[in-house]
Amino acid sequence: MKKLWRAILVLSLLVVYSASAQAPKFKKGIQVDEFIFEKASFPESHAATIAETPKGLIAAWFGGTKERNPDVGIWVSRQVNNKWTAPVEVANGIVNDTLRYACWNPVLYQVPGGELQLYYKIGPNVAGWTGWLKTSKDNGLTWSKARALPAGFLGPIKNKPVLLSNGTLISPSSTEGNGWKVHFEVTKDFGKTWEKIGPINDGKTFNAIQPSILVHRDGKLQILCRSKDAAIIESWSSDNGRTWSPLAASALPNANSGTDAVTLKDGRHVLVYNHVKPPVGAKNNKGARTPLNLAVSKDGKNWFAALVLEDSPVSQYSYPSVIQSADGMVHVVYTWRRERIKYVKIDPRKLELKEIKNELWPGTTTAQKAANTTNPDKDL
């Protein structure tokens, strides 16, 4: 009898091991996976952004005791000799001697052949924040005084601006009052003067914010947005962003969490997001911000699973930022449990792709995830 049970146990272990060995791991192509910092003077970090300067990579995020608290500022770390420097606070929300607001959602942008720009928001909350800009002429070592953007302009709200072939820099932006609405802020002189396009939706049929911009070979632009509608929302433009198609649900789920995307030099598009469909009845269609996934598409419509950057049930892994550097590598930064900022370097030539069908990540049986209970996502 003991031999029989031993044989059954061994067979069971073999079945489990075989299933585990055959399940896609989605890790091929990752070259570096590390924290930008292990310890810091601030307990919470969120909303990272990354850019490539002539001297290498630089990342920024907001950090402080807790999102919304007045001590939250913008912190920066530079990659020097493949190591990240200690975080340095480069912007805060001090208004005067008695009033200070929180900082929010930094976005780095390297002007080609010019200055490094840091866009961010200051305010007591999303409804009351204003847009600000700092610049650096030495690749992020030192920064200019903060300059307020023109009244009514917020700058890129979460994801990076894109320089179009006609010389226009288009910043994806959005507002959250009276329905979530997407708009664009464009400049032909890298921030000296601005023009607004939109909003392109009424905030009723679809509630979408935080767009990222993809550039297709035929010149069309595509945006992918966070939403309250259980799906990543998309729209298309054939005239360099002057007009846009009606918002529509893409083939990918969204649990009301931030995403980012970039068009690679080879024409493919990379999207980093939480492949999570919120549970039915969840407030504002919010779900867990885990796992964190990376998908690839040739046409912006049909997406293929490429990487699972994080898959722990302990949330959250969120608010990614993704770029491609001059050497062809892809770089991602994101929030790690609101405690630290994670950095991942990827060789896009080594990705192994599997088609995503019916909202299912390959190897899974459902796209729906329970609402996060281990680390509730109450804020951004």
pLDDT in tens, 244-259: 999 999 999 999 999 9
Q: Measured between alpha carbons, how far is 353 from 305 in angstroms, rounded to an integer?
A: 5
In a domain, 21, yes or no: no
- State the pLDDT at residue 374: 55
In a domain, 184, yes or no: yes
Share of the chain above pLDDT 90, in %: 89
In a domain, 8, yes or no: no
Q: Tell me the CA distances in angstroms from 233 to 104, 148, 251, 269, 320, one per residue in order.
A: 23, 30, 9, 16, 17
Q: Is it the case that residue 134 has pLDDT exceeding 50?
A: yes
- State the pLDDT at residue 379: 64
pLDDT single digits (tens) 165-214: 999 999 999 999 999 999 999 999 999 999 999 999 999 999 999 999 99
With cut-offs at 50, 70 and 90, classify the pLDDT of residue 8.
very low
In a domain, 24, yes or no: no
DSSP state of 214: E
In the numeric block, the tokens 């399940």 are attached to 23
In a domain, 22, yes or no: no
pTM for the structure as a whole: 0.93
In a domain, 83, yes or no: yes
Count up the domains in the chain and report the number: 1
Average pLDDT taken over every residue of the chain: 93
- State the pLDDT at residue 320: 98
- State the pLDDT at residue 375: 53
Mean pLDDT across 120-127 = 97
- State the pLDDT at residue 108: 99
Residue 96, number of CB atoms within 10 A of its CB: 6
- State the pLDDT at residue 6: 45
Between 370 and 359, residue with greater pLDDT: 359
- State the pLDDT at residue 380: 85
Structure tokens at 314: 């302990």
- State the pLDDT at residue 65: 98
With cut-offs at 50, 70 and 90, classify the pLDDT of residue 9.
very low
In a domain, 23, yes or no: no
* Residue 13 backbone dihedrals phi, psi, to 5 degrees: -65, -40
Mean pLDDT across 221-228 = 98
- State the pLDDT at residue 370: 81
Q: Measured between alpha carbons, how far is 155 from 130 in angstroms, rounded to an integer?
A: 9
Mapped onto helix, strand or coil, the DSSP state of residue 164 is coil
With cut-offs at 50, 70 and 90, classify the pLDDT of residue 238.
very high
pLDDT single digits (tens) 282-321: 999 999 999 999 999 999 999 999 999 999 999 899 999 9
- State the pLDDT at residue 371: 76
- 47: CATH: 2.120.10.10
Is the dihedral angle over the CA atoms 309, 162, 75, 228 positive or is it negative?
negative
In a domain, 285, yes or no: yes
Is the dihedral angle over the CA atoms 205, 295, 363, 274 positive or is it negative?
negative
Q: Which domain holds residue 286?
A: 30-372
In the numeric block, the tokens 């950090």 are attached to 63
